[in-house]
Amino acid sequence: MPIILDVFPRDPANGYHADITRTVFRGARRGGCARCTTPCATPTRGHRPGEGGEKASEVHKACVDLFKERGFETGPTKKGGMQGFFHGTGHGLGLAVHELPRVGAVEEPLPEGRS
């Protein structure tokens, strides 16, 4: 059974946030190593830090495509729910937990020099 941990601590000294999301498994895993290594591979597949100019949606699509290549379909299920990688790919960090730029199904270009 997968368990998602989403932690966003704030530094009391300067007010800046961190944002850490991890998936851990309780009990026997199904799906082998691809289930665990795919999320780690998506950032480098989708974007090379510092380049800038590409649309956030293109970076997100590259990550979704990697999940699909490894057998994890994304989109609605027959029962009306969602499956796969339907969460956004990422976002900036700062004084707010979720700052710009947002990386997901949005058309804004990513700024240069960000990772």
Under-70 pLDDT residues of the chain: 1-2, 28-52, 113-115
* The predicted structure's pLDDT at residue 17: 84
Query: Would you give the distance in Å from CA 11 to the centre of its chain?
Result: 23
| Cross-strand bridge partners of residue 111 | none
* The predicted structure's pLDDT at residue 45: 53
Domains defined for the chain, CATH in brackets: 2-103 (3.90.230.10)
For the segment 8-30, what is each residue's pLDDT rounded down to a tens digit? 888 889 988 888 777 777 776 56
* The predicted structure's pLDDT at residue 115: 46
CA separation for the pair 24, 2 (Å, rounded) = 6
User: Do 4 and 23 touch, CB atoms closer than 8 A?
Assistant: yes
pTM of the model: 0.63
CA separation for the pair 58, 97 (Å, rounded) = 23
* The predicted structure's pLDDT at residue 42: 55
* The predicted structure's pLDDT at residue 40: 52
CA separation for the pair 98, 93 (Å, rounded) = 6
